[in-house]
Amino acid sequence: MFLTVVLLVSPAFVSITEEIQRRRTFAIISHPDAGKTTLTEKLLLYGGAVQLAGSVTSRKNQRATTSDWMELEKKRGISISSTVLQFDYNGYRLNLLDTPGHKDFSEDTYRVLTAVDAVVMVIDSAKGIEPQTRKLFEVCRQRGVPIFTFMNKCDRPMKEPLALLDELERVLGIGAFPVNWPIGNGFEFRGVFDRQTKQMHLFERVVGGKYRAPVSVGSLNDPEVRGQLDDATFLKTVEELEMLEHAGEIFDDAAVLAGKSTPVFFGSGVNNFGVQLLLDGFLKHAPAPKSRVMGGIEISPANPEFSGFIFKIQANMDPKHRDRIAFVRVCSGKFDRDMTVFHSRSEKKVRLSSSHKLFGNERETVDEAFPGDVIGLVGHDSFGIGDTLTTDPKILYKEIPRFTPEAFSYLHNPNTGKYKQFRQGLDQLLQEGVIQALYLRNSSIKVPLLAAVGPLQFEVVQFRLESEYGAESRLEAAPWSVVRWLPTDIKEDEIDALSLPTGSKIAYDIGKNPVVLFSNDWSAEYFAKTNERVPLSAQPVQTARE
Ligand SMILES: Nc1nc2c(ncn2[C@@H]2O[C@H](COP(=O)(O)OP(=O)(O)OP(=O)(O)O)[C@@H](O)[C@H]2O)c(=O)[nH]1
Ligand SMILES: [Mg+2]
């Protein structure tokens, strides 16, 4: 009997399950400015993936982080686009995705959430739960993604830790289990108490937080560690810890994996306080890649057929290589460089020869990859966001959410001599899904009408056109703020017969689907009342293979 089992389990299968078990793929999410990029940088520092956090030569206000590498990100100090960083730590292979917090870039963040198995939610401890964190949390909850919480910026006057936990439970409706507890607060913030090992970790600040913070570890009664704290801080910490013990809550792994409870870690990213504890605690409890269910079929990561989907496309990441990368999340089987796969959109077989592992804007050829990995594929113009790549054409992922644009603007090309660059740049950005283009019906206007989730996306388009394609552009506000899709099978004469509110206009999206542009919600509602038999939709209808 024993022999039969051994014979059935082939060495290849053993290695793929081992590889899956050591993968941890996660995103860092939050409201803008809570400290995601800073924490990402520190996780890389503690994970041994970079020697120095940031760059020693970076000037004040000019950040040089590994994950904010775009010109505009460095200039503005905000993240605009998500970044993939793959590195090894303690036997694990981590795929970490830093996301932008600003709502105008949330489409990118939401796509990333389809590609990860867990998230670290960063909260500014002085501010508590902010609106964008709440929205992102909702998406995670719907997807059942396990959430780990990092209460950041404890080095600044923060809300009471108990109040922060209460907020998690009250505002987000999720159970909160403090894995560690802050010692002191604001300027007096000294470190954290690890509730599982019952050890105090007291840190020293290092200028600029570029190196790991020196730490002394000891129990509550350890005189050496105790001697570093003033009485008030020590007594407050002891009292709070007793209260937590008294509450008697225990760490519930199953509730964490189901996304019903979140382990909470306190710290300060910029000062490196509590970063190692977060990383180790996360790895201890976060899940390895799981099965995905698509159209009623369960696809296990250990399925021998290779499958994955494209969740992001970005061009010109490295000025040395003017090309575009399709980011693929591997979901099942093993990826081998040069393998031939079925591509869902074109329904054709393609050979994947140029594959890379990614680290910010750096890349390195990769020969094999396993479920959980994010790899970058170069040189396939036909690849689009949401496409499935697989050795089994029956597998089709439909993971990518769509967003309804709320900002509209014409984009002029003031320099006709640069028409080619302007058009080429715009086509690329359209393919990346940064913005959408609409074409007005019966109109002689040749200027592209752009539609985006938020107006900051237009600024990104202009900046990237100029810096990556050398093409100037000029924006002209368009008078609409709402777009709705008409039924795809509507006939031209039926469109002619529609009764349109003043100021509305018919246009077509890039897939030639008809839409109506309205100046406001009221006008859209009025249309619905006066054209009862024509249903409107906030999303384009998806075709079977999309
Ligand atoms: N005092 C203090 N400041 C911090 C800490 N962590 C980050 N910051 C600062 O907070 C600001 C925002 O940090 P980022 O890491 O860029 O925030 P982000 O969440 O990545 O922002 P977006 O990606 O634009 O949403 C920066 O000025 C950081 O230096 C911390 O622990 N303490
Ligand atoms: Mg950031």
CA 405 / ligand 1 centre spacing (Å)? 28
| Dist. CA 70 → ligand 1 center (Å) | 17
Over residues 176-229, the pLDDT tens digits come to 999 999 999 898 999 999 999 999 999 888 776 777 888 888 888 888 888 888
Give which of 151, 334, 162 is closest to 249, Cα–Cα: 162
Tell me which ligand sits closest to the C-alpha of residue 155: 1
Q: Is the pLDDT of residue 168 over 50?
A: yes
What pLDDT score does 76 carry? Answer: 80
From the CA of 269, how far away is ligand 2's center (Å)? 12
Alpha carbon of 262 to ligand 1 centroid (Å):
22
Give, using CA atoms, the residue closest to atom 8 of ligand 1: 35
pLDDT over threshold 60, residue 14: yes
Number of Cβ within a 10 Å radius of residue 25: 25
For residues 499-520, average pLDDT: 94
65 lines ligand 1 (CB under 6 A): no
Strands 335-336 and 505-508 turn out to be: unpaired
What per-residue confidence (pLDDT) applies to 61?
A: 40
Which residues are within 8 A (CB) of 386 and not within 5 positions of it... i.e. 6 or more apart? 309, 310, 311, 397, 398, 399, 400, 546
Residue type, position 364, single letter: E
How far apart, in whole angstroms, are the C-alpha atoms of residue 266 and residue 252? 19
pTM of the model: 0.90
Q: What is the mean pLDDT of the chain?
A: 90
Q: In the chain, what is the straight-line distance between the N-terminal and C-terminal CA atoms, in Å?
A: 47
pLDDT-based confidence at residue 68 (cuts at 50, 70, 90): confident
395/389 Cα distance (integer angstroms): 9
Three-state DSSP at 428 gives helix
- Give the number of the ligand closest to the Cα of residue 68: 2
- Residues 148, 282: Cα–Cα separation, whole Å: 7
Task: Say yes or no: CB of residue 36 within 6 Å of ligand 1.
Answer: yes
Residue nearest to atom 30 of ligand 1 (CA): 153
Of 385, 314, 380, residue with least CA distance to 341? 380
Instruction: Point out which residues pair with 340 in neighbouring strands.
Output: 351
Out of 7-16, 263-272, 318-327, 536-545, give the one with best mean pLDDT.
Answer: 263-272
Mean per-residue pLDDT, 146-157? 97
CA–CA separation, 261 vs 257, rounded Å?
Answer: 8
Closest ligand relative to 150 C-alpha: 1
According to the model, what pLDDT value does residue 211 have? 77
Three-state secondary-structure class, residue 103: helix
Q: What is the pLDDT of residue 73?
A: 84
Residue 158 has pLDDT above 80, yes or no: yes
Which amino acid residue places its CA nearest to atom 14 of ligand 1? 35
CA distances from residue 324 to 343, 382, 428 in whole angstroms, order as listed:
17, 11, 9
* Ligand 1 atom with minimal separation from the 63 CA: 16
Residue with tokens 């998690």: 168
Query: Is ligand 1 within 6 A of the CB of residue 124?
Result: no
Is 252 a residue whose pLDDT tops 70?
yes
Interaxial angle between packed helices 419-432 and 456-469, expressed in degrees from 0 to 180 and rounded to the nearest 10 = 130
Q: What is the pLDDT of residue 182?
A: 97
Helix H or strand E segment including 315: strand 307-315
The reply to whether ligand 1 has any atom less than 6 angstroms from the CB of 514 is no
Tens of pLDDT, residues 343-370: 999 999 999 999 999 988 888 999 999 9
- Does residue 34 have its Cβ closer than 6 Å to ligand 1? yes
Cβ of 205 less than 6 Å from ligand 1: no
Q: Which two tokens stand for residue 326?
A: 């399709």
Separation of 227 CA from ligand 2 center, angstroms?
A: 37
Give pLDDT, residue 15.
87
- Least Cα distance to 292 among 309, 313, 312 occurs for 309
Tens digits of per-residue pLDDT, 430-451? 989 889 999 999 888 888 999 9
Share of the chain above pLDDT 90, in %: 72
Contact between 360 and 69 under an 8 Å Cβ cutoff? The reply is yes
Tokens 């967003």 correspond to 403
Identify the helix (H) or strand (E) that includes residue 437: strand 436-440
Band of residue 51 on the pLDDT scale cut at 50, 70, 90: low
515, pLDDT greater than 70: yes
| pLDDT at 7 exceeding the cut of 60 | no
Choice between 528 and 57, residue whose per-residue pLDDT is larger: 528
User: pLDDT tens across 276-328, in order?
Assistant: 999 999 999 999 999 998 888 899 999 999 999 999 999 888 777 778 899 99
Question: Does residue 6 have a pLDDT over 70?
Answer: no
pLDDT of residue 10: 59
Angle in degrees, CA 185, 190, 193, rounded to 5: 95
pLDDT at 50: 77
**Ligand 1 in contact with 30 (CB < 6 A)?**
yes
* Strand (E) or helix (H) holding 137: helix 131-143
Which of 377, 389, 360 has its CA nearest to residue 97?
360
Q: Which residue reads 């970076």 in tokens?
A: 58
Task: Tell me whether residue 353 is exposed, middle or buried, using C-beta atoms within 10 angstroms of its C-beta: 0 to 12, 13 to 18, 19 or more.
Answer: middle
DSSP state of 9: S
Protein residue whose Cα sits closest to atom 5 of ligand 1:
270
What is the 42 CA–ligand 1 centroid distance (Å)?
Answer: 12
pLDDT of 459 reads 92
Alpha-carbon distance values, 161 to 226, 355, 428 (Å)? 21, 45, 46
Give the orientation angle of helix 131-143 with respect to helix 106-113, to 10 degrees: 30
Query: Out of 132-136, 426-430, 540-544, which region has the weakest mean confidence (pLDDT)?
Result: 540-544
CB atoms inside a 10 Å sphere around CB 73: 20
**Whole-angstrom distance, CA of residue 383 vs CA of residue 507:** 26
C-beta separation of 310 from 326 below 8 A: yes
CA–CA gap between residue 366 and residue 95 (Å, rounded): 14
Look at residue 2 in the predicted model and tell me its pLDDT: 45
Instruction: Check residue 48 and give its pLDDT.
Output: 86
Token pair for 85: 């960083």
